[in-house]
Amino acid sequence: MNLHINQLKRQLNIEQEYNDDNAILQHYLDVAYASSCEYLKYDVNTSLSGFTGNTLPTGFVQAVIMLAAHFYLNRNMVSFAQGAEVPYSYRFLLDPYRDFIVG
């Protein structure tokens, strides 16, 4: 996986030298990656095989970073009164890579 915590820090405007939240940032990055692979119906352990080469597409990387940033900024559960579907930008970035099943 070529995602790095520094990319998430840049998204969140966190100084690179600030390391107090590194563990939780890495956790959210891992969860966002796994969730994105699940959304695309890829096995989290072999999801790179769905892409050519060893580099993840920039749209996929951006979607994972956006979702991890969302998890970090919204650490509490969303109530039913505030319920919302996954933001359109996340789906917009991932849908081209989704393994749609028609049938």
The H or E element containing residue 93 is helix 88-94
Distance (Å, whole) CA 21 – CA 19 = 6
Q: How far apart are CA 77 and CA 51, in angstroms?
A: 33
The CATH architecture assigned to 5-97 reads Orthogonal Bundle (1.10)
pLDDT higher for 12 or 45?
Answer: 12
Alpha-carbon gap, residue 66 to 89, rounded angstroms: 9
Q: 58: Cβ–Cβ under 8 A, 6 or more apart, which residues?
A: none
Domain ranges of the chain: 5-97
Q: 83: pLDDT confidence band, cut at 50, 70 and 90?
A: low
pLDDT of residue 42: 78
Assign 40 a pLDDT band (cuts: 50, 70, 90): confident
How much is the average pLDDT of 5-24? 96
Q: What is the pLDDT of residues 46-70, one digit of tens each?
A: 545 456 666 788 889 999 999 999 9
* CA-to-CA separations, 20 to 16, 25, 57, 66, in angstroms, rounded: 11, 10, 29, 20
Handedness of CA 16, 20, 24, 26 (dihedral sign): positive
Residue type, 72: Y
